[in-house]
Amino acid sequence: MTTKLIIQIIAGLLLLLYLAYLWRRWSKKYSVRELTDASLDLGEHTSPVEQKLSRQCNEADGSAVENCATCAVGDCSVRSTLSRLKNAPEYYDDEELDALAHRSPETYTPDELSQLQEVLETLRDADVNGWLRSLSQRGIALPEPLHREAARRIART
C-alpha cells in the first residue's frame, strides 16, 4: 500500500512538472510583446530569429552589406520587417475592442457592434485611416457596413 502511494505521488509530481513545462512553453509562444523602442535592437522581446536578423543588419563592420543584397542598396527588407514587428498599434481610446481580436465579424454581438460603431463615430475623419491600421495590427476585423462607412470618411479627407 505504501509503495502504491509513493508511486502515485511521484506520478502526480511528474504530471505537474510536465504541465508547468507546457504552460511555460505556451506563454512564451503567445506572449504579448511590449515593443516601444524605436531602434532596431529589439532585445529580449524577440524570437532568436528576429534577434539574429537584427544583429545581421546592425553590424558595423560592413558584413551585413555583404550578406544581404538589399542592405547593399539601402532598401533592406529585413529592416522593414523588423520595424513593422516592433510597431505597436496605436489605440484610439478603444482598448475594449481587443476582445474582438481574431474573430469573424459575424460572431460579434450587437453590443460589440455598437462599440465599434461608437468608436468610428467619435473619430475625426483624419484619424479613421490610422484606426483601421490599428485594428488590422490587433487582428480585429471590421464588419462590411462599418468598413464602407470608414472608407467613405477616408475619401472625404
Residue 61 lies in a domain: yes
Of 17 and 29, the structure prediction assigns the larger pLDDT to: 17
Residue 135 lies in a domain: yes
Same domain, 55 and 82: yes
Same domain, 51 and 68: yes
pLDDT given for residue 56 in this prediction = 57
Question: Could you tell me the pTM of the whole model?
Answer: 0.47
Confidence of residue 68 (pLDDT cuts 50, 70, 90): low
Tell me how many domains the chain contains.
3
pLDDT given for residue 88 in this prediction = 77
Same domain, 101 and 78: no
pLDDT above 90 (res 55)? no
Confidence of residue 60 (pLDDT cuts 50, 70, 90): very low
Confidence of residue 81 (pLDDT cuts 50, 70, 90): low
- Is residue 139 within 8 A of residue 102, CB to CB? The reply is yes
Q: Which residues contact 27 (CB under 8 A, 6 or more apart)?
A: none
Same domain, 25 and 52: no
pLDDT above 70 (res 119)? yes
Same domain, 123 and 79: no
Same domain, 4 and 56: no
| Cα–Cα dist 146/34, whole Å | 29
Same domain, 69 and 101: no
Residue 38 lies in a domain: no
Which residue range forms the structural domain that includes residue 26?
Answer: 1-31
pLDDT given for residue 41 in this prediction = 42
Q: What single string gives the DSSP state of each residue in 92-109?
A: SS-GGGGGGTT--GGG--
Mean local confidence (pLDDT), 139-153: 93
Residue 81 lies in a domain: yes
Same domain, 26 and 55: no
